[in-house]
Amino acid sequence: MAVTGDQRGVAVLESLGSVGSLSGSPWIYAVVAASVLLDVFLPVLPSGVLVIMAATAAATVPGEVGEVLILVLCAASASVVGDLVAYRLAWRGGPLLDRAIARSRRLTSAQERLGAALARGGGLLVVLARFAPAGRSVVSFLAGSAHRRAREFVPWSALAGLAWAAYSVALGYYGAHWLGTTWLTTGVSALALFAAGAAAAYVMRRTPA
């Protein structure tokens, strides 16, 4: 039976054991940042689950508000940096990438819709894509390949990263207070994150061109 990305994510978290106190384990910030940054290239990475897990641990730390804010800023910053790396790589992708997009009607249509949205100053698609499965990757690469100006894309990428990070951290943090710091909290919070992704994908499909 094939192992899904989510199952691999759970296995990774289980191998870490108890995350424990964030203040006692500062390396978790590096793990979260690396996972969030890289999942623009490898969407199977369980970055959202890691953020939730870290937020669940933060809920038990004295002075937890500071830990939570640092975690939100860490995840949001890594999200924006990853978007920018993908954007710049696609910008320099050249004719090969352009031909690959041109061969796909769906990618061509998505690129046109994204370009029109950014030109109007409405980056709702960028924000929604951050929650949708692999949507962040598609939007970042399409924005770069279309040579959209950075000032059209980066502010919306920052808003998207902050919204996603705040939502993910809130799920883990409040889940820990309501359900306790157990695997049940992580599971329920992860399901809420995936539900938000499914809703975002649905809204993107229904958004008129």
The structural domains of the chain, with segments of one domain joined by +, span 5-206
Q: What is the DSSP letter of 3?
A: P
In the predicted model, is pLDDT for residue 186 greater than 70? yes
pTM here?
0.79
Per-residue model confidence as pLDDT tens digits over 43-78: 778 899 889 988 888 887 766 778 889 999 999 999
Spatial distance between the Cα atoms of 87 and 143, rounded to a whole number of angstroms: 6
Output the DSSP codes for 146-168.
TT--HHHHHHHHHHHHHHHHHHH
Spatial distance between the Cα atoms of 181 and 68, rounded to a whole number of angstroms: 15
Per-residue model confidence as pLDDT tens digits over 74-130: 999 999 999 999 899 888 876 665 666 656 666 666 556 655 656 665 678 888 889
| CB-based contact 32:47 (threshold 8 Å) | yes
In the predicted model, is pLDDT for residue 23 greater than 50? no
In the predicted model, is pLDDT for residue 169 greater than 90? yes
In the predicted model, is pLDDT for residue 155 greater than 80? yes
Residue with the larger pLDDT of the pair 193 and 19: 193
Report the interhelical angle of 105-119 vs 94-102 (nearest 10°). Answer: 110
How far from the centroid of its chain's Cα atoms is residue 54's Cα?
A: 15
